[in-house]
Structure 1
């Protein structure tokens, strides 16, 4: 019976409509996985040199063990974003003569073959046999590696349960994200020595390899628990499909004070809060806001103006980067309706600009916490915020006129490439590299003070001439509107 279910699963994979999509998307996914795999392999052989640079005078293996906590925190959050719930794949099997427990067993077994479970091995195995084996016997090294594999699988099984739980309560993912960030900050600033405790545990495993079997007892318990829970809820009228609940409709009445454009702002905010993919894009903003804690702590980056400009653009423009780059594809479903109104397109573009500006100001206010790394950091964040409002926001709106790929708002944005056209990738490069190249050019031509002044005045100029720039952008959209309408209609 199990081999029949596996056969059906393979056929559903190869016959999936996903593989009938553009060949460019397939090449992109394969290239991304290949590039990531090679990068992790190279990382595995270079971890000792990296640790010696950032933790001088400390034992490499000890430093690696102490930082494993950060990996597991990141992995747990990553699983909530990337790892799909296996139970939803059982719907077609419920009408076939299979026992529910067999279906549940197939789903749990299938879930182990996830890329997130295999990628860590690409840098753990080289590090184990290239570094750990130099100080410890083979049996100790294997025990340390097996223990890590066991903990990865424990993390996986816990993630399945949490993801299934959050299938009914979406706040669970937010709680896990907050908890993960909290643990990271507590350990990073050494408020609680979590990293040291983790390092002591792995040190004990290296000395007593038999301890490496401990996680597998937990794996057995979690495996049986997930199996029973999934099998128990495998009914259409049970927990397999979440019960419909009353939608919490936010009125956003406070936007009325912004006049006519306030109605469009309200509609935009409703779209963001009510649809899955827009919420996922908004969630990535949180990662970008906290990215400074990782980068500013790196003295080699924090001491270079180029790096500070890059980080400042990334943090203060987090919303524009993650959400704005898909403008106007978010509105592809009702884009024809906007084209039937004299001022619909203009108000939509002005709404987008208002949101970019407001989000940039909020992100800059948040970035004041990075004063702990020095006033220079806040100064560059201020320059970057001005540049994002005056220049980056207009570039994003102008590049949006080349959009030809619609977006399904009900889908998650992670590993889902519908709506991702060439203009999106080009826009990403322009947003990320453009300010750095521009600043680099200014730094070669001008002294520091004048370089800062011209860079900031460029953003101010964009703000001052906003109306003129927006009129040109509007003309661009009107020129391309028929091509966009045709493309959105053909791609749906």
Structure 2
């Protein structure tokens, strides 16, 4: 039976329209996975000697154990944000004489071989081998290694139990930050205390059975939960949910654009894919701290443009690159309505413009690092409004992939095609190239003014540019309708 399941999974994956349409993306994901595997492997092999060199008076295994609290909690947070329960197309199977318990067991066992579980082994196994080569007790190291393997698998099944629980996620964040703060202010060495527990495992390998028991309990908890949900009527029945309506009356001031903007705001807040993207705004605002606090980049003026474009255009880039795919689920219905297409596009432009201005205002504290940074951020804001917003909208005319809004954004490449990869060049590298060239040939001030002037030119030509972009959308309207009707 397991062989039949695997055969069906193989055919489903390689015969799917998504695989056939996204060969380039699948190759990229394979290379991405190989890159991380090699990185973890190198750290696993060299980690022992790195710790020994940096802390010659301490035992590398004890040091590694003291960091495991951060590793375990960080792994759970990473899984919470990015991992999904592997799903089989089980509806047809439920009508056949196959035990439901076998289906559930296959789903759970399949999850044990996910990327999130395997990638950690590229560190733990080489590190354990090096420990044994360096003279550590083989039985103790094996007990420690199997404990790590059981913890990785336990995190896998624990994630499926808490994945939709925001309180559990908040608790994980609190533990991670709390552990760091109490150690930083020297109140209590919580990571070190947890580390002594893993030292005890090395000294008493028999304790590995405790972690095996925890893994077994989590597996059974998942089995019982899924077993109770594997019924055909449960899969096809719809649950009625009470929707909380937000007061969006303030958008009425925007006139005939208000209905479209209200629709977009509700879409962003009610769906997983768009809601996850909203939290990216915090990342965009803090992007400058990576560069402006690092002396390595202090003399590289062109990095200010990169930070300025990204920090003020985080929402523009994340939201804009999937226009009109955000509306793909009901695009056919939308296009049957009696309205001017230009109003639809203008509402997208208005949302993106407002976000750029707000992000610039929130980023004003960067002036702490120098007035030059604030000046470049202002020029980048104008450039995003006048140039990048139009580039984003034009790129949307080539979007042909449907987006499922019920899925999380992290590591979700659904709807991503060649357009999303290629559009990054005019958005980021073009202004960086222009700024860098003029800064080198003339001066920093003239380079900053040039970026701002290009933005103002785009603003001045807004009506003509929008008219041209609208014609392109109307020309491709029926092609998009057909493409969005296709299942991935």
TM-score (norm 1): 0.78
Q: Which whole-Å CA distance do the structure 2 matches of 1:480 and 1:180 have between them? A: 47
Measure how far apart 1:308 and its partner are.
4.0
Distance 1:442 1:105 in 2: 63
Is the counterpart of residue 198 in structure 1 residue 191 in structure 2? yes
Quote the residue 2:305 is aligned against.
309
The root-mean-square deviation of aligned C-alpha atoms, in Å, is 4.3
Task: Verify the 8 A CA contact 2:375 2:448 in the aligned structure 1.
Answer: no
Per-residue deviation, 1:49: 8.8
Structure 2 residue aligned with 1:151: 151
- In structure 1, runs of 5+ residues without a counterpart are 167-171
Matched residue SS, 1:323:
helix
The residue correspondences of 1:132-211 to structure 2 (distance < 5 A) are 141-163=141-163, 166=164, 172-173=165-166, 175=167, 178-179=170-171, 197-202=190-195, 205-206=198-199, 209=202, 210=204
Give the corresponding residue for 2:35. 38
Structure 2 contact 66–194 (Cα < 8 Å) conserved? no
Secondary structure in 2 aligned to 1:16?
helix
Q: Which is worse superposed, 185-194 or 269-278?
A: 185-194
Give the distance between the partners of 1:234 and 1:366, measured in 2 at CA. Answer: 48
Matched-pair contact (CA < 8 Å) for 1:302–1:308 = no
Partner of 2:117 in structure 1?
117
CA distance in 1, matches of 2:69, 2:238: 34
Q: Which residue of 2 aligns with 1:108?
A: 108
Instruction: Check if 1:423 corresponds to 2:419.
Output: yes
Distance 1:51 1:369 in 2: 42
For 2:420 and 2:201, locate their aligned partners in 1 and report how far apart those are by CA, in whole Å.
52
Distance 1:112 1:407 in 2: 27
Post-superposition offset of 1:325 = 0.5
Kept after mapping to 1: 8 A contact 2:47/2:127:
no
| Alignment partners' CA distance in 2, 1:244 and 1:273 | 19
Q: Distance in 2 between matches of 1:48 and 1:297?
A: 31
SS at match of 2:250: helix
Residue 248 of structure 1 aligns to a residue in which SS? coil
Report what 1:258 is aligned to.
254
Structure 1 contact 48–131 (Cα < 8 Å) conserved: no
* CA distance 1:51–1:244, change in 2 (3 Å): farther
Instruction: Supply the distance in 2 between the matched residues of 1:321 and 1:194 (Cα, whole angstroms).
Output: 43
Q: Is the 8 Å Cα contact of residues 406 and 418 (structure 1) preserved in structure 2? A: yes
Which of 325, 329, 352 lines up with 2:325 in the alignment? 329
2:22 is aligned to 25
CA deviation string 1:403-422 (max 9, x = no partner)? 23343445555565553332
Q: Which one scores higher on RCO, CA 8 angstroms, separation ≥ 6? A: 2
How much does 1:396 deviate? 0.6
Match for residue 76 of structure 2? Answer: 76
Q: Which has the larger radius of gyration?
A: 2
Alignment gaps of 5+ in structure 2:
none
Contact kept in structure 2, 1:143 and 1:206, CA below 8 Å: no
Aligned match of 1:473 in 423, 448, 469? 469
1:231 pairs with 2:224: no
Contact 1:401/1:477 (<8 A) preserved = yes
- Return closer, same or farther for 1:359/1:188 CA change in 2, 3 Å cut-off: farther
